[in-house]
Amino acid sequence: MANLFKDLPHLLGTITNLDGAQSMRALVSINAELKRRQRLFAENDVNHINQYQKKYKLGEVSEPMPHLFLISDEFAELKTNQPDFMKELVSTARIGRSLGIHLILATQKPSGVVDDQIWSNSRFKLALKVADRSDSMEMLKTPDAAEITQVGRGYLQVGNNEVYELFQSAWSGADYQPDKDEQGIEDHTIYAINDIGQYEILNEDLSGLDQAESIKEVPSELQAIVGKLKALTERLSIQALPQPWLPPLPSRLFVEDLRDEAELTWSGFNEELEVILGLLDKPSQQAQEPLSINLSQDGHLLMYGAPATGKTTFLQTTVLDLARHYSPSELHIYLMDFGTSGLVPMGDLPHVADVFLLDQGEKIGKFIRLLEKEINRRKKLLTEHRVGTLSMYRQLTGQVEPRIVIALDSFESMKDESFEAELLKLLTRISREGQAIGLHLVVTASRQANLRATFYSNFKHQLTLKQHDKTEVRSVVGATGLADIEDIKGRALYKGEEVYSLQLALPLRVEHDIELVDQMREEVSRQKAAWTGQVPEAIPMVPEELTREDFLSRASVQKAIASGQIPLGLDLETVEAVSVEVEKVNNILVLSEQISALESVIYHFSVVSNRLYPKGHVLVVDASDEFDYLRDLSDVYINSGLSHQLFEQMFTELSNRKSNPKDTETFIIIPDLGVFLEKFTSKAEEFKQLYLEGPKHGLHFVIAATKAQLFKTDAIVKTIKEDISFALIAMRLYDQSVVPHKEVSREERLNTDEMYLYNKEKYTKVKILSNKD
């Protein structure tokens, strides 16, 4: 029925779907219209619509207020499906009668549908032909309507039979042909009326319509009247009145539809960090408006939703909208993609410092430590200048500290990961302290029950997409009639002054969702090309396999070599060279519980001391003849056949250096302490003298030993253990007791190309060269 009146100027709106949220939306809109009329009545000191309309005609008020008719076709179905809605609708119409709000209800069978409240508030009753006497008695208290035989014939009853008349309703569906008589068109069809009153055509159709090439469609009288009224309204320039309710939220909209400026706006400094999320539906205010969240004032955002409802798209919209309106000098972004890799395509934005995936535990650990330091630094900065917020600090000093946004997709996915406890601790701290120092969280999760209250209670803005269980929706936004969210991707609820429906915007204008990733990559490339300034630094990570070329090419390694130090590896935390001044090192113990790990460290040390250290001189004592691969990395290689000459040669070298000091530092590498002990146990005193005096004159022992070998009661072992000030440890610190430590049993095991550098009770975990290099 609604389509018949779509062009009627008097029609303010139609509702064809009253399921779930739409029914409540319509009711809220009607109540809002009722309040609007009450407000206008109060402002103009009237209490009835007739008085108000009289003032309008006299020009005493400027805002028109027509009578509003709410028409429900086949309201029996509405009452069955939405009983509460129907009850509220009748109640609203009763209250609004003096305000010019009227209700017209139509049904085929009133019995069991029309209740006492409807009867008591219905002064006018019209009954056309009904099915049986009981329906007529229900409607008119007489059987008359059941005895009607003609189409369109009916009874009008006003009040308690104050008026009771039989009438013939007009048929508006006839063809509208005002010049039919002038055209001389006559109907020559002959009909026979049978026993049951039906018309039967007796003669042949001679109109020729079956042979006509085109037939002109004739409008119905209803269409003609609607068209005439529409044309008259346009000719008189009568402005359309605002609708009591706006059209439903679109199922698809884009950020550029909601912003005046959707292009890059990187000029100047924006004090407030605002983001557009989508379009809010406010039926109680008879309005629809964009939802803008000010992160600088409100802190953080948290979105819940069942799978495939639009959580990742929400993050994409948020990140890209922020990136368009805040330059990389004032906004840094970290993307934590624990979901379906929907954030990865934005990783090349000039604002994005880094992207974290769920299997990057080491990288996430570094991020946690980095952010903890940054939080402490910013808090100290504000304390020193005696201000409470980053904005006040900028106004006082003129210095700009970039805002940091952490976008995290699929919060629950980090459960049981090694970094879960530390990351949750960091995120909770940011949710509590971050707003004042310019750190903001934008997080998605499936259910509020999966999060700790100490975390989510710090979020001012918590939104929810559709959930499988409506109680999950109510736990986020509170009690609401909108909990049954429409099954539209991106449809959400937002709690402001009250609970509103929200349609989230797509970040880019695309016809199909499959095009979004390609369009996103193009947008990212465009922003990357447009920015020529400094970008935020990524989390430093060592390569999976450190080659000699890679190691040597690094600036920190070159700097160490230039300053006369040995670069022993890359710090796993800072990815900077870890180097030592050889003059400050006595002897070096290489410790592990696995021979393969010892071999990796010895290989690495041989390379860096011989090839990367200009003053390095390497002497390898291979008493077992199993380390022939070190021959090419040494200046002197002593195998088992020559090892008996070792101590004689070493004492000669020591004597020469005492009388004639040299610039070179000689490293005496013993790759297998076990074999060395078997051959030289009788030389314990000579070894002790060389071990203690040699470092003073540039002779340093580098001894590779297993944990078991250092438990032997041997004089040489005793000498080694009594003077451990520098060690390369290729095992968990917890698993050894040779050097002191504070590690616990959950310490991770080292890879074969990792080690601890122990230097006077200080530990540094480093990456070393791969022995495959």
pLDDT at 610 exceeding the cut of 90: no
Distance CA 704, CA 715 (A): 17
**What is the band of 181 on the pLDDT scale with cuts at 50, 70, 90?**
low
Question: What whole-number distance in Å separates Cα of residue 551 and Cα of residue 557?
Answer: 7
Mean pLDDT over residues 558-580, rounded?
91
**pLDDT of residue 149 exceeding 70:** yes
pLDDT of residue 18: 57
pLDDT value, residue 424? 97
What Cα–Cα distance (Å) separates residue 662 from each residue in 551, 646, 655, 657, 659?
29, 20, 12, 6, 10
If you average pLDDT over residues 297-322, what whole number do you get?
Answer: 96
Q: Outline where 44-149 has alpha helix (H).
A: 49-57, 75-81, 83-95, 116-120, 133-140
Residue 511's CB: how many other CB atoms inside 10 A? 7
Q: Beta strand 754-759 with 499-504: parallel, antiparallel or unpaired?
A: unpaired
More confident residue, 612 or 509: 509
How confident is the model at residue 252, as a pLDDT?
94
DSSP state of 514: G
- Cβ–Cβ under 8 Å, residues 333 and 441: no
228 token code pair: 């005439």
CA contacts within 13 A on the Cβ side of 62: 0
Cβ(569)–Cβ(767) under 8 Å?
yes
Task: Return the active site residues.
Answer: 74
State residue 75 phi and psi, 5-degree precision. -75, -10
Close Cβ partners of 478 (under 8 Å, ≥ 6 residues apart): 495, 499
User: Averaged over 291-304, what is the pLDDT?
Assistant: 96
Pairwise CA distance, residues 520 & 515, whole Å: 9
**Residue from 43, 440, 91 nearest 274 by CA:** 440
274 has pLDDT over 90: yes
Q: Looking at residues 673-699, what average pLDDT do you find?
A: 90
Distance, in Å, from the CA atom of 279 to the CA atom of 258, rounded to the nearest integer, reads 8
Of 373, 378, 383, which is closest to residue 402 (Cα–Cα)?
Answer: 378
Q: Alpha-carbon distance 197 to 271, whole Å?
A: 82
Structure confidence at residue 21 (pLDDT): 61
Binding-site residues for ATP, please?
A: 305-312
Per-residue pLDDT, 261 = 65
Q: How many Cα neighbours within 13 Å face the side chain of 22? A: 14
The structure's pTM equals 0.79
Contact indicator for 627, 671 with CB cutoff of 8 Å: yes
Mean pLDDT, rounded, for 678-702: 91
Per-residue pLDDT, 199: 80
How would residue 646 be classed by pLDDT, with cut points 50, 70 and 90? confident
* Closest among 116, 89, 113 to 102, alpha carbons compared: 89
- For residue 499, is pLDDT > 70? yes
pLDDT (0 to 100) of residue 200: 83
- The closest of 251, 304, 773 to 502, measured between CA atoms, is 251
Q: Residue range 472-495: average pLDDT?
A: 93
Task: Name the packing angle between helices 715-722 and 684-693 (round to 10°).
Answer: 20
**Spatial contact of 334 and 406, defined as CB atoms under 8 Å apart:** yes
Q: Is the pLDDT of residue 209 over 60?
A: no
How many Cα neighbours within 13 Å face the side chain of 530? 19
Supply the mean pLDDT for the chain: 89
Identity of the residue numbered 525: S
- The model's pLDDT over 31-75, given as tens digits with 9 standing for 90+, comes to 888 888 999 999 999 999 999 999 999 999 998 999 999 888 887
* Cα–Cα distance for residue pair 406/179, rounded to 1 Å: 74
**Is 490 exposed, middle or buried (CB count within 10 Å of its CB: 0-12, 13-18, 19+)?**
buried
- Domains of the chain plus CATH, in order, are 2-122+170-177+219-223 (3.40.50.300), 255-261+272-530 (3.40.50.300), 548-767 (3.40.50.300)
Instruction: Give me the DSSP letters along 570-606.
Output: EETTT--EEEE-GGG---EEEEESSHHHHHHHHHHHH
pLDDT at 446: 96
The band of 744, judged by pLDDT with boundaries at 50, 70 and 90, is low
Enter the tokens of residue 334: 């970290």
Residue in 604, 265, 295, 313 with CA at minimum distance from that of residue 444: 313
Look at 242 and 418; give whichever has higher pLDDT: 418
